[in-house]
């Protein structure tokens, strides 16, 4: 009633899904506002339209059971499981408890769910309904939110019902298309009330009910049922109510309170059991001596319905009944459910009921919960692990055991991203007696939480303290923590911030000796310590050895786990850039992306994509860099992580797009200021320097490049130093240019790679006079032509041509400027290309215009897909790599074929894609 526009919105979503344009919709509003009614309307429409409909519902008491709601939704579709790639089959099977195996990455489970849904939709359009999403277990909520953001052309619609609560603000579904249900219009409210109360109402009473219900349909239906009809007709007034859901709970509580004692107890048992299992309810009732006749008064009162499932009139009935019960009665109900639950088929739910039935402490129950936590962790349910361990700690009588379990709970919470809850559990642990290992674990957890919550400058010191504390207890963990501390110091250092990396590296000298043979991470720690304590020249051999150790394929036998290698690959790739080793950096970053893709590790893939796209940018492959940046942005949005616009920022700067660069600079600065990440500011300053060098605004470029060189991260200062030399030389700041050149030249000579030597030679040319200047330019072109860094090769031709024109050698200048213009225009470095064009015109030559390419019409994602298909990859293979469905890839291919005016994959292979 009164929901025409809302129904049309749902109908449109389903019509689009049936036509091959998938989508999601979150129906949001307060309790009783009609979300479930609209969800059921969607079900009826979908069934009539030939959809397959699968559904799930969150249950408050189920929120601690990992993947419970996902299992409910996916269970009927598991006959398609065999069609999934093997890693996805395994991940989803382990998560749903169908097979044994190591805990899967949560986003690999999400990829598997997306693939499963896509496979099911191949047979016909599919509607997935998820009601009471505010009570989804965290693992299911994250997976379903990912699926909702990644569906595209699969003929899938997802509709979620989400209640407005204080906790819903940061819900994983936030940001999806939303339909907010408001109260009914007054005319509709009066019509609904008239249909609900057959007895004539006094006008004053009717007005009062309509006003206080505020258009909430359930309030209009339920509030009058709590009053005597005679009083409703004779001037009965309801008390003021500002919270309709609370009023509704009170109304349901009042109706249940008038039922027989045995019926109230049966209602309580039903409320305490989230499964809705009728047989379980009657087994528990029998344990309490409750007869089946006890259900009749509750059914007559409209509170409960017992059929093939146990269903409450509304979720508020469940919460009203449970909250109204006394603690002894709740424990009694949970004891009955403990006795009725099979410990073999459902050990975790039995353990949970048993834990709620205990008053005080109970070691046996705590141990049972700990076993449940272990099973939850094995399935990848970190939130469930934390919930089980938290309750286990509360039930533990022995103080030291309570401290250990509290620490385990805090660690699970930290890994699950519940940082504030983890801090609370650390407070619980701190109140107990701690041994040395526990104290060391607590320090390490506090440091990690501080890094994720605040990124304050104290974090490296906290990590150092933790590393020292654990040194005699776990040497490998101590070394990892020292590496974490050094990494944090590098990331937090930047313009205007004190440099902590040297001090942290000095402390890391006391780290325990590495294993034999040392792992790549061991080598990386030693190399970074040497570099920051003894200088760049002393550190280069170790950096080279460490970076190359991460290139071994397959991983060396002494690497404990592939996940450990992935953890530090990005840092190893930055060590390669610190060495000006473009080839090694490209190999490491490509390996990092490949390993993250293969593992479905979407939490780390965006960082890997940013690093590889930065490589491609410097190599002059702006198109591929943009493709990866677009993929990073899509994945970041899908997993609900903070955006990382660093490649997009650098691309905008190299292209000379001033407005976009400034917008992104502002966004990065604001984000970094909130988290205290100096490395992000350093990168932003580098991008600003590139932009203003391209535009010829050299004083501004000098200021930005100077700040970019203040950070502790060598890769960023390696990129910023040549910008500073060029800007300072052109801004008539010879002393500043000379100082930057000295540092750049030292690093280039020590590293010995063409990239560094080439830009050092160009920088010497920019600061030189006389005949030697040309020798330096020619040396730079020869060296940079021998490496991947085409951007700086093109810019060297540009500045060489500018110098030649000013020397009056117009013919020689044209040759260099023509080459520079062609290279810069081809890669899309428009501002630098414009500089080359101006210089060419000054020599009397008109620069050639870039010929438009058919591929210019493709989006970054379409170009990425086209490249992959052109290599011979099937739609399913491309879909697996890009975490999309084959149907979505086919939809993109149709668009690609249309834009390129081709009709086959063979023709796509024949095209020369940029």
Q: Considering the chain, what is the average pLDDT of its residues?
A: 87
- Out of 16-25, 68-77, 308-317, 511-520, which region has the weakest mean confidence (pLDDT)? 308-317
Q: How confident is the model at residue 167 (pLDDT cuts 50, 70, 90)?
A: very low
Mean pLDDT for 333-357 is 93
- Give the pLDDT score at 687: 95
Name every residue whose Cβ is closer than 8 Å to that of residue 554 and which is 6 or more positions away in sequence. Answer: none
| Percentage, residues of the chain above pLDDT 70 | 92
Instruction: Quickly list H helices, 471-559.
Output: 475-492, 501-508, 520-534, 536-549
Q: How confident is the model at residue 452 (pLDDT cuts 50, 70, 90)?
A: low
Radius of gyration of the chain (CA): 33
Closest to 127 (Cα-Cα) out of 204, 208, 219, 50:
50
Q: How confident is the model at residue 64 (pLDDT cuts 50, 70, 90)?
A: confident
Q: How confident is the model at residue 145 (pLDDT cuts 50, 70, 90)?
A: very high
For the range 796-804, what are the long-range contacts, defined as Cβ-Cβ under 8 Å and sequence gap of 24 or more? 796/758, 796/762, 797/823, 798/824, 798/832, 798/835, 798/836, 798/839, 799/726, 799/762, 799/765, 799/766, 800/765, 800/774, 801/836, 801/839, 802/835, 802/839, 803/765, 803/773, 803/774, 803/777
Mean pLDDT for 70-83 is 93
- Give the pLDDT score at 394: 94
Higher pLDDT, 642 or 798: 798
Closest to 689 (Cα-Cα) out of 709, 676, 705, 673:
705
Hey, how many other C-beta atoms are within 10 angstroms of the C-beta on 250?
A: 18
Q: Which residue has the tokens 């010995």?
A: 752
**Residue 751 confidence (pLDDT) above 80:** yes
- Give the pLDDT score at 555: 46
Higher pLDDT, 202 or 886: 886
pTM passes above 0.95: no
Distance CA 709, CA 688 (A): 13
pLDDT in tens, 708-743: 998 778 899 999 999 999 999 999 999 999 999 999
**Residue 239 confidence (pLDDT) above 50:** no
Peptide linkage before 682 cis (omega within 30 of 0): no
Mean pLDDT for 58-71 is 82
Asked if residue 127 lies in contact with residue 88, where contact means CB atoms within 8 angstroms, the answer is: no
C-alpha distance from residue 487 to each of 322, 461, 612, 686, 849 (Å): 49, 12, 19, 20, 46
Asked if residue 204 lies in contact with residue 211, where contact means CB atoms within 8 angstroms, the answer is: no
Asked if residue 436 lies in contact with residue 473, where contact means CB atoms within 8 angstroms, the answer is: yes
Question: DSSP for 93-115?
Answer: HHHTTSS--SPPPHHHHHHHHHH
- Give the pLDDT score at 315: 77
Asked if residue 384 lies in contact with residue 413, where contact means CB atoms within 8 angstroms, the answer is: no
Closest to 44 (Cα-Cα) out of 129, 116, 121:
129
**Residue 209 confidence (pLDDT) above 80:** no
Q: Which residue has the tokens 């009056």?
A: 808
Strands 304-306 and 310-312: antiparallel
**Residue 235 confidence (pLDDT) above 50:** no
pLDDT in tens, 284-343: 999 999 999 999 999 998 888 999 889 888 778 888 898 889 999 999 999 999 999 999
- Give the pLDDT score at 753: 97
pLDDT in tens, 569-604: 888 999 999 999 999 999 999 999 988 887 777 778
- Give the pLDDT score at 529: 95
Hey, how many other C-beta atoms are within 10 angstroms of the C-beta on 763?
A: 29
pLDDT in tens, 845-864: 988 876 767 777 888 888 88
DSSP secondary structure code for residue 34 in this structure: S
Q: Which two tokens stand for residue 574?
A: 């930055």
Distance CA 47, CA 887 (A): 23
**Residue 558 confidence (pLDDT) above 50:** no
């Amino acid at each position: 009633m009164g929901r025409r526009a809302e129904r049309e919105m749902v109908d449109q979503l389903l019509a689009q899904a049936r036509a091959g344009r998938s989508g999601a919709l979150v129906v949001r509003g307060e309790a009783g506002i009609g979300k479930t009614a609209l969800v059921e309307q969607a079900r009826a429409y979908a069934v009539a339209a030939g959809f397959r409909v699968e559904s799930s519902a969150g249950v408050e008491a189920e929120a601690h059971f990992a993947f419970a709601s996902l299992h409910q939704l996916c269970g009927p579709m598991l006959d398609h499981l065999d069609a999934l790639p093997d890693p996805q089959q395994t991940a989803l099977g382990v998560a749903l408890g169908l097979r044994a195996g190591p805990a899967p990455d949560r986003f690999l489970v999400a990829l598997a769910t997306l693939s499963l849904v896509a496979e099911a939709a191949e047979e016909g359009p599919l509607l997935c309904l998820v009601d009471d999403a505010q009570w989804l277990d965290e693992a299911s909520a994250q997976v379903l939110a990912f699926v909702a953001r990644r569906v595209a052309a699969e003929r899938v619609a997802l509709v979620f019902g989400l209640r407005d609560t204080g906790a819903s603000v940061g819900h994983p579904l936030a940001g999806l298309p939303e339909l907010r249900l408001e109260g009914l219009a007054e005319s509709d409210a009066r019509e609904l009330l008239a249909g609900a109360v057959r007895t004539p109402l006094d006008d004053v009473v009717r007005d009062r009910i309509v006003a206080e219900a505020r258009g909430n349909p359930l309030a209009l239906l339920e509030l009058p049922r709590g009053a005597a009809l005679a009083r409703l007709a004779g001037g009965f007034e309801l008390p003021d109510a500002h919270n309709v859901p609370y009023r509704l709970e009170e109304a349901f509580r009042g109706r249940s309170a008038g039922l027989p004692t045995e019926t109230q107890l049966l209602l309580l048992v039903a409320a305490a059991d989230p499964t809705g299992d009728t047989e379980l309810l009657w087994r528990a009732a029998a344990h309490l001596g409750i007869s089946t006749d006890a259900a009749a008064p509750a059914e007559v009162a409209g509170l409960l319905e017992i059929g093939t499932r146990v269903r409450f009139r509304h979720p508020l009935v469940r919460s009203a009944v449970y909250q109204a019960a006394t603690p002894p009665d709740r424990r009694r109900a949970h004891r009955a459910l403990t006795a009725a639950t099979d410990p073999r088929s459902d050990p975790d739910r039995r353990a949970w009921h048993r834990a709620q039935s205990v008053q005080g402490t109970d070691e046996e129950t705590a141990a049972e919960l700990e076993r449940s936590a272990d099973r939850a962790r094995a399935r990848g349910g970190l939130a469930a692990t934390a919930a089980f361990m938290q309750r286990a700690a509360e039930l533990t009588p022995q103080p030291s055991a309570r401290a250990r379990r509290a620490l385990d709970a805090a660690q699970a919470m930290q890994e699950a991203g519940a940082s504030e809850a983890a801090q609370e559990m650390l407070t619980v642990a701190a109140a107990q007696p701690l041994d040395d290992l526990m104290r060391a674990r607590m320090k390490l957890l506090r440091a990690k939480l501080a890094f994720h919550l605040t990124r304050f400058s104290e974090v490296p010191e906290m990590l150092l303290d933790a590393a020292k504390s654990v040194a005699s207890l776990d040497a490998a963990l101590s070394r990892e923590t020292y590496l974490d501390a050094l990494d944090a110091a590098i990331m937090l250092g930047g313009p205007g911030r004190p440099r902590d990396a040297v001090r942290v590296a000095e402390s890391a000298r006391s780290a325990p000796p590495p294993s034999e043979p040392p792992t790549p991470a061991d080598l990386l720690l030693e190399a970074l310590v040497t570099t920051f304590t003894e200088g760049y020249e002393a550190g280069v051999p170790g950096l080279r050895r460490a970076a190359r150790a991460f290139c071994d394929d397959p991983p060396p036998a002494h690497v404990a786990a592939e996940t450990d290698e992935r953890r530090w690959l990005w840092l190893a790739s930055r060590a390669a850039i610190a060495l000006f080793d473009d080839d090694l950096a490209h190999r490491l970053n490509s390996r990092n992306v490949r390993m993250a893709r293969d593992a479905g590790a979407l939490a780390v893939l965006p960082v890997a994509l940013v690093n590889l796209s930065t490589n491609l940018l410097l190599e002059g492959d702006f198109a591929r860099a943009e493709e990866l940046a677009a993929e990073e942005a899509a994945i970041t949005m899908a997993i609900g992580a903070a955006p990382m616009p660093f490649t997009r920022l650098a691309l905008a700067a190299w292209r000379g797009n001033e407005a976009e660069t400034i917008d992104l600079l502002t966004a990065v600065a604001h984000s970094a200021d909130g988290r205290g990440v100096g490395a992000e500011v350093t990168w932003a300053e580098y991008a600003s320097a590139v932009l203003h060098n391209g535009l010829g605004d050299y004083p501004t470029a000098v200021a930005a490049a100077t700040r970019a060189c203040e950070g502790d991260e060598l890769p960023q200062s390696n990129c910023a130093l040549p910008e500073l030399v060029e800007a300072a030389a052109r801004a008539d700041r010879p002393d500043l240019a000379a100082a930057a050149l000295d540092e750049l030249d030292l690093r280039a000579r020590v590293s010995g790679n063409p990239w560094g030597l080439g830009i050092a030679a160009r920088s010497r040319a920019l600061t030189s006079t006389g005949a030697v200047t040309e020798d330096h330019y020619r040396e730079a072109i020869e060296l940079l032509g021998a490496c991947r860094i085409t951007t700086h090769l093109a810019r060297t031709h540009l500045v060489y041509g500018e110098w030649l024109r000013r020397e009056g050698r117009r013919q020689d200048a044209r040759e260099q400027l023509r080459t520079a213009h062609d290279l810069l225009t081809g890669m899309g470095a428009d501002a630098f290309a414009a500089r080359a064009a101006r210089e060419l015109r000054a020599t009397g030559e008109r620069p050639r215009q870039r010929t438009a390419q058919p591929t210019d019409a493709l989006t970054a994602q379409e170009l990425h897909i086209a490249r992959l298909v052109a290599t011979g990859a099937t739609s399913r293979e491309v879909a697996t790599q890009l975490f999309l469905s084959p149907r979505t890839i086919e939809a993109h291919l149709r668009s690609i074929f249309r834009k390129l005016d081709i009709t086959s994959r063979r023709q796509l292979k024949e095209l020369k894609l940029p």
